[in-house]
Structure 1
Amino acid sequence: MSISITRENFDQWMLPVYAPAPFIPVRGEGSRLWDQQGKEYIDFAGGIAVNALGHAHPMLCKALSEQAAKFWHTGNGYTNEPVLKLAKRLLDATFADRAFFCNSGAEANEAALKLARKYAHDTAGPQKSGIVAFKNAFHGRTLFTVSAGGQPAYSQDFAPLPPEIRHAVYNDLASARELINDDTCAVIVEPIQGEGGVLPATTAFLQGLRELCDRHHALLIFDEVQTGVGRTGELYAYMHYGVTPDVLTTAKALGGGFPIGAMLTTETFGHVMNVGTHGTTYGGNPLAGAVAGAVLDIVNTRETLDGVKQRHQWLTEQLTALNNRYHLFSEIRGLGLLIGCQLATEHTGSAKQIAQLAATEGAMVLIAGANVVRFAPALNISEEEIRTGLARFARACEKFIAGSSS
């Protein structure tokens, strides 16, 4: 049966938990997308930091199609070669000794929090169950992870929430010190708060959390779902800081658009998750393993990682020049290709409007709350695509300024 699809069908058929753009993308190549009407967009959104290598990258398409022609799925009663190769690649490239694969960042964080409680339960007893997270964090949408995320707007409608989760102020070590004690089993933190406004942690803050966790025998969990897989110019952001976590979660860019997540940890902590303690039907399937392996082939190279730093410079220099004309932003911040533009006070609450105007001009951008315009493009976006996309974004900014002053 052939049916004609329009944007209005979303409002008719789908659970209204999203408010998608008025256009429907149908084809992509690199950092360009085209909608049903053939209009072209430069993609600075990257599927929310997912499309690490843009759209329809030939090496990822090849890895997927070759594995699809072999077999797709067996369930966790069997293992497979692609996921074992992927595990070895990740362990060799990081601090970790053990990997667990799932389908999303939320699932990876769920596994990390369960691991922390299981380890504390086994080694210290049930009283050691406290979790310290941070205000304005985002760790996923499961009940456990949305409770750890310090944004009540995402959790308050689903009470009662899992207990013994408390929230300190991000980048405020004194605030964290007040909450972390001998009953704390884990501290979970984003090296850069993504949804919370693209706020990088300070080195002193992360070092202080490491010391507090060591002192109180708590696991330090780095949520690198958004910052991982080359996004910051290193394979994982912890490598910038010289602070090694006990557990790291990764997803988004790991599959370059194919759903996969992972939790990485050491032998010391991983051994408590014995047979039956956790699992997932689809996690670590051969399709995801093959695609993620191809992503790492490209991303985990000095050429790609250094290229991210070069692209950061191109983007921030051009955004700064744009801001010198329009005076929209009070700050442009971030690492690598995760960049947040904080709106000036007089434009508070306008990030969504600016993003919508950008789309009408043919540039896709993200927001991080009501006051931050976020850029998370493909790690291999070209200089020409950056220049073209920012010219379109500049036209949107000009229209916004004209509209707000009229």
Structure 2
Amino acid sequence: MSVAALIVAAGRGSRAGEGIPKQYRDLDGQPVLTRTLTRFLSHPEIDQVLVVIHPDDRDFYEASVAAFAPLSPALLPCVYGGDTRQDSVRNGLEALAASAPDIVLVHDAARPFACPELIERAIQAAERWDAAVPGTAVTDTIKMIGSQSEVVSTPDRANLRAVQTPQAFQFALLLDAHRKAAAAGLHTFTDDGALAEWAGLPVHVFEGESSNIKLTHPADFLEARRRLEGTTMTYITRLGTGFDVHAFGDGDHVWLGGVKVSHDRGVIAHSDGDVILHALTDAILGALADGDIGTHFPPSEPQWRGASSDRFLAHAVGLVRERGGIVDHLDTTLLCEKPRLGPHREAMRQRIAEIAGLRVDQVSLKATTTEKLGFTGRSEGIAAQAAATIRLPEVNP
């Protein structure tokens, strides 16, 4: 059976940080796309390889394939993608229709570590099932959440798989499914397996590879380079502190630790005035040496008026993870005479853990009065101080 590989390289890769699209970035001396193409052009069962690119990336593409041409007749002329990944894949399939391979493997250009055995399993899966995707077992517990971040259900992870590429299909079936989706006005499928499911095709899962990572964030590139260099990831520990204060004003509640607490006063604040979440946000930003909450969410901008502070904390935690880091522990002390923390402590710990994606035992929450001293002692306002311990990948100069 004839086999074609369709490499999707038309994306912008904005989550990988500033710079050229991630598929053309240097990875230990070679563009990512070059490394990905090498995996497929060197496989004995791949007859054709076609790359779908963005119209603005022609020069990057030509530089990435210079090492192959003219020695790789299997590498077909590239085609331009569309507005969405689905449109790009369909453009590639339409270009392959002239030769009409029996099997097509659709693969992300930003997955440069697809091993020969994985490619072989993909081809065999398409021969056996017509439509199949590689998947790896899920090791974390997965939560389905609602509009208020509440847990709706906990699926049995034994039945869950994290799906990768290359995804494998009988060519005619996938092309027909794409044409039907386009005719129905659907253009936002980000996964060809999901599109095939929509078209009524039974999709099976074959064994993926944990090493078949997709380069999405800057930390992924760091890990990929370490893998190619044969080194292991090492981390440095950082500690950051934060402090926040708000004066009391009119109102009947305050937000603390992401929990609405009844009180005879409110707080005067641009956002919801959650001193605990604000202090934690600044503590994490401090550990990152990345400014403060006002830098990222300027109070002069109307969009943050009345904003829920869980967005601030989630943003700070996201910055840690984008850099390949780990949040180890969050610790906060609330300073006020009232309201009392005790009745709400566990609910706040749970909420902070949910926002930050941590276990509850990684969140500490304490409270103290100031013995009637100062503005908190006079019940004029409320304050919180926080500490955050994180780990970041160690980068050698």
With the shorter chain as reference, the TM-score category is: under 0.3
| Higher helix proportion | 1
| Higher strand proportion | 2
The two structures have a TM-score, normalised by structure 1, of: 0.25
The two structures have a TM-score, normalised by structure 2, of: 0.25
More relative contact order, 1 or 2 (CA 8 Å, 6+ apart): 1
